[in-house]
Amino acid sequence: MDRITGENVFMAVGIRDVARAAGVSPATVSRVLSGTPVDPAMRDAVLKAVETTGYRPNLAARRLRSRHTNTIGLIVADIRNPFFTAVSRTIEDMANRQGMRIILCNTDEDPAKEEAYLGLMEEERVTGVILAPARSTRKRPPRDFPTVLIDRTIPGEVFDCVVLDNISMADALVQHLVQRGHRRIAGLFGAESNTGRERRIGFEEAAARLGIAATSHAVPHADGEAAQVLHGILAGADRPDAIVASNGVMLLTVLRELRVLGLRVPGDIALAGFDNNDWMEFVGDGLTVIEQPVDEIGRTAMTMLAERIAHPENPARKVVLQGRLIVRGSSAAVDAAADMEAQSR
Amino acid sequence: MDRITGENVFMAVGIRDVARAAGVSPATVSRVLSGTPVDPAMRDAVLKAVETTGYRPNLAARRLRSRHTNTIGLIVADIRNPFFTAVSRTIEDMANRQGMRIILCNTDEDPAKEEAYLGLMEEERVTGVILAPARSTRKRPPRDFPTVLIDRTIPGEVFDCVVLDNISMADALVQHLVQRGHRRIAGLFGAESNTGRERRIGFEEAAARLGIAATSHAVPHADGEAAQVLHGILAGADRPDAIVASNGVMLLTVLRELRVLGLRVPGDIALAGFDNNDWMEFVGDGLTVIEQPVDEIGRTAMTMLAERIAHPENPARKVVLQGRLIVRGSSAAVDAAADMEAQSR
DNA sequence: TTGTAAGCGTTATCAG
DNA sequence: CTGATAACGCTTACAA
């Protein structure tokens, strides 16, 4: 594999050249560029000199000297997961508006990668980090930068974090399915993340409260293994009449397996889950889901990070956001589903 | 932060501290860290000292002094477009494996934003840039870094670039639809990007060759306006019997409008387009699309960038990649579609 | 307000 | 191979 070696030599124009062209000192140029009050005449001379010389400040030098990097690390599991894509985009927009740079990293749920990236953040001397911790309950060593967790918490550790109200959202999903007449519901949850655990708890509590038969299953993160587990659940004789999937990616895995088995939604089995993607209204009669407030999650994370930076000694805060139940065709009652199919003839 | 004293101990440990702890000079520490040959005994001493002191090199200082940033700028229209998400992920993975950092920017098709980000890249002294140019035919001023274009070219400018064979892929789509018995095909293309233009050309050429009535439409980038244009095309009495959409985002816009009008795919109208997303096999009987080799696009862009950096004087190259036609239910012949619906009763 | 000068933490140079 | 020393390009005391 060819390694990138070369380096382009930039225009050699530095702050001293601008100073000379403007007939002022480098310090004055620096002041103009940083907005410090400067005599208007000099200011104009400097700006003109910047223009004519084509000067571009060297951000590496600036960061080294000023000791602030204006950089935020954003570490997620996989940017291809639409939930993280959306949250990242919001965070990048906010950051850019504040003159901050983002370093984006994908852990693929691998604790080793997460560790490596956190190390990288230290070397970058980042202002702060927004982290969706990899599915792992291990303790994180304390870091030298403010950190805000998104999507997932780390049990027993005190970090600022912003998460969904997973328990009550899962509860709402079960309640909805029961209302629609479903009685044998299977829940599919990530085994390792705290978020998966919370959703399972909400799922089981609601089922118990409503007195229905609900079984929850731990689904591995790897796609192949997940399909296998799903097959076991769906192919048996005692197939559930409804499925709850713990997130959007899993929802897709379920759709894939249902297709393999030739099962139809909602005719043969109802389906509901977490995360609302733009395509979900178009599969079948639409997928019933809990929509996460992705924009608000991103905004809140950025705000919390800023406050943590400003007040390092404040106690850690946990912000729990509500989602929104979007009811679509995939959770229709079996009777209603039959009706709809009859009508469509 | 040291949790006892509240002092930031981390920032204080520099290469000199490591040198002192190891009983060597700072230069030797630097050599060990950069892999330059060093006496094994000293090497071990340094590595141990790095460990005990918890030393983290300061990347800003390293970049300033060494004059290479190991950073690549990646500028796309919108990371939420799954095509860019996928390409970005591939590029980030390759970059990380080579010890390179990525700076990701979204232009939202705004030339001003593109301009601003290109300026930022100069201030970051990036090693190179991978750019999906905003839909705009304007000339770009020459920059001080190697640049590789993806997805779109800039007519009349000499840049390395890697693009899809848009003309023949659009041609293949039309050919397929005609084969399936469709005769009145409407093509929807982005008006401003060169990619949209090329796809339109392939579309029109194929239609002319095959002697069918095909009309191409320029669809604005903004979602609301796009819907309006679509409405005009689909709601009239002379509704086409098939639609070709120029990309995945537009495909979704079409689905939305079809839903509003209560038109069914492929019963009332056939549908095909560009970009293959993971959900597309699940809407209706699946969406017929041209799949772009996203992974290869990313890999090729990185490779070309590396080669451009190594050989700045080489002539610019254009790599044209083939896509793959994935035939699914949305392009079924009207008769076949009727059959399928009959069977499903 | 402005200029002078001293670093920020690292790597490159060059002499030993 | 190793160590002293001088930058890299900028900001910021501190002095004027």
List, for residues B177-224, the tens digit of each pLDDT value: 999 999 999 999 998 889 999 999 999 999 999 999 899 999 998 888
Does pLDDT of B81 surpass 80?
yes
Contact B188, B252 (CB under 8 A): no
Probe site for chain B from A268, A282, A345 (most B CB atoms < 10 A): A282
pLDDT digits (tens, 9 = 90+) for B104-117: 999 999 999 999 99
- Bridge partners of residue A271, in order along the sequence: A243
DSSP state of B330: G
Own/partner pairs for A144-150, CB < 8 Å, 24+ apart? Answer: A144/B1, A144/B8, A144/B10, A144/B11, A145/A73, A145/A121, A146/A305, A146/A308, A146/A309, A146/A312, A147/A308, A148/A301, A148/A304, A148/A305, A148/A308, A150/A87, A150/A297, A150/A298, A150/A301
Residue in chain B closest to A65 (alpha carbons) equals: B61
Q: Which helix (H) or strand (E) holds A131?
A: strand A128-131
Strand partners, A189: A218
Nucleotides of C under 7 A from a protein CB: 1-5, 7-13
Chain B hits for A119, Cβ within 8 Å: 56
This model's pTM is above 0.85: yes
How many other β-carbons are positioned within 10 Å of the β-carbon of residue B175? 16
Give Dmax over CA atoms of chain A in angstroms: 87
Q: Does the beta-carbon distance from A144 to B101 stay under 8 Å?
A: no
- Provide the chain B residues 57-96 that lie in CB contact (below 8 A) with chain A: 57-61, 63-64, 67-70, 78-80, 82, 85-86, 88-89, 92-93, 96
What are A208-251's pLDDT values in tens digits? 999 998 999 999 988 889 999 999 999 988 899 999 999 999 99
Q: Are strands B270-274 and B288-291 parallel, antiparallel or unpaired?
A: parallel
Q: CA–CA separation, A293 vs A298, rounded Å?
A: 9
Q: Which helix (H) or strand (E) holds A245?
A: strand A242-245
| Helical packing angle, A40-53 and A26-34, nearest 10° | 90
pLDDT band at residue A7 using 50, 70 and 90 as cut-offs: very low
Q: Please give the single-letter amino acid code of residue B129.
A: V
What is the distance between the alpha carbons of residues A10 and B121, in angstroms, rounded to a whole number?
12
Residue B7 has pLDDT above 50, yes or no: no
Nucleotide nearest to B28 (CA to C1'): D2
- Half-sphere CA count of A67, side-chain side, radius 13 A: 2
Mean pLDDT of A269-278: 98
End-to-end, the C-alpha distance of chain A in Å comes to 58
**Residue A340 pLDDT:** 52
According to DSSP, residue A217 is labeled E
Cα four-point dihedral sign B243, B247, B252, B254: negative
Mean pLDDT of A72-79: 97
Token readout for B86 is 């996928």
3-class DSSP state of A103: strand
Residue B4 has pLDDT above 80, yes or no: no
| Residue contact A80–B79, C-beta within 8 A | no
pLDDT in tens, B126-169: 999 999 999 776 777 778 999 999 999 998 888 999 999 999 99
Q: What is the mean pLDDT of residues A137-146?
A: 82
Q: What is the pLDDT of residue B10?
A: 44
A11 touches strand D (CB under 7 A): no
Residue A113: alpha-carbon gap to chain centroid: 17
**Whether the Cβ atoms of residue A226 and residue A220 lie closer than 8 Å to each other:** yes
Residue A266 CA to residue B192 CA, distance in Å, equals: 42
Instruction: Show Cβ contacts of residue B55 under 8 Å, excluding neighbours closer than 6 positions.
Output: B13, B14, B15, B17, B18, B49
Closest CA to A321 of A286, A282, A295, A289: A295
Nearest to B67 among A7, A63, A125 (CB): A7
Query: From A282, which residue of chain B is nearest by alpha-carbon distance?
Result: B283
Of B251, B258, B257, B249, the residue nearest B272 (C-alpha): B251
Tell me which residues of chain A, numbers 271 to 310, contact chain B at a CB-CB cutoff of 8 Å: 277-284
Please name which of A34, A340, A312, A324 lies closest in space to residue A148, comparing C-alpha atoms: A312
Q: Which of B130, B151, B104, B127 is nearest to B249 (CA)?
A: B151
Q: For residue A274, give the 3-state DSSP assignment.
A: strand
d(CA A105, CA A120): 10
